[in-house]
Amino acid sequence: MLIDIVGAGSLGLLFGGKLARSGSRVRIWSRSAGQADELRHFGIHIAKDGESGIRANPTQFQSGTIGQLGQAWEMEPGNYVLVMTKQKDAEAVCRYLSEFRLPQGASPPVLVCFQNGYGHMDRLKAILPEWDMLAAVTTEGAKRTSFHEVFHAGSGDTWIGESGTGGVAREDSSRWLNLVHAFEKAGFYPVLSNEIDNMMFRKLLINAVINPLTALWRIPNGDLLISPARIKLMKELYNETISVYDACGIRHEDDMWDQILNVCRATSGNTSSMLKDVLAGSPTEIGWINGSIAAMAQKAGVQAPANELMTRLIEGIIAEEE
């Protein structure tokens, strides 16, 4: 079993390093040649509070740039491709993969997509219609500290499932179980879920309330809770998004507000991914988070002014700083 990991950010290094250490055959593909060189030279170091770090030696995995993936596939295609890039890069990765010719009689690989937001799975399936495609939602906490080092901020669960099927099992789901077993062997906590869409909507709600506000105010997650004014705006975003979900017939747990507050407390010192992007002057995923909620509202014939405003404000930050 050969696992290709596309994207060597926080999650790519965490999953790649632990899978490689556990004996899985892993290839890690980064955007830059500099990072690929560091990985080949230093391996991957995974640090964790209160514990000695672990290291995947360079001999335990292969690495290269994403542009070299095609050449590697001519020699040996992967069985699984974990796409761990941002939303904005996932479609380009899939278009690139669509150019590859599989050996005659070979089964299409399983593509596992770790992107935030919602709506991307349909777009990716349209690009790779013959591939098995799974969505993944993880609560693993990780922060890349260098090209070859990642801090494992906290263990979590990783849900994997087929989006848009209502949980209907496929005859070849044994291939999915093989990946689940590889994750378990590596020390992760995978769940093969029949409700992956609900898990994606749950994470979308959490991200829509936390991420844009931390990016606008440039504060860590926990600082959202130190001001009644901030909590009030969080609640407005929450209530509006719940109303959109209700209009779209999307199920949600009754205690989601409490769950969001708990996420802020549990990740109090963390910098949200959207704030990281803003500070780096990089494009954010606002269009796939609050923007996707606004689009859902429009389709359902309801209003989502708070989500629309968050989208415009975050987009305006990047435009101003470019």
Structural domains for the chain: 2-194 (3.40.50.720), 198-321 (1.10.1040.10)
What does the pLDDT read at residue 166? 55
Write out pLDDT tens, residues 253-282: 999 999 999 999 988 888 899 999 999 898
Write out pLDDT tens, residues 98-123: 998 877 777 888 999 999 888 889 99
What is residue 81's DSSP assignment? E
The answer to whether the CB of 169 falls within 8 A of the CB of 212 is no
Could you give the strand order of the β-sheet that contains 80-83, starting from the edge strand earlier in sequence?
62-65, 25-30, 2-6, 80-83, 110-113, 132-138, 157-161, 189-192
Q: Is the pLDDT of residue 321 over 70?
A: no
What does the pLDDT read at residue 127? 94
What does the pLDDT read at residue 172? 53
Residues 6+ apart with CB under 8 A from 177: 192
Q: What's the mean pLDDT when you consider all of the chain?
A: 92
| Lookup result for tokens 């974990």 | 82
Write out pLDDT tens, residues 123-149: 999 999 989 899 999 999 888 999 999
Q: What is the number of other CB atoms lying within 10 angstroms of the CB of residue 143?
A: 17
- Residue ranges of E strands in the chain: 2-6, 25-30, 44-48, 51-56, 62-65, 80-83, 110-113, 132-138, 141-144, 149-154, 157-161, 189-192
Q: Is the pLDDT of residue 192 over 50?
A: yes
Dmax (CA) of the chain: 62
Q: Is the pLDDT of residue 60 over 80?
A: yes
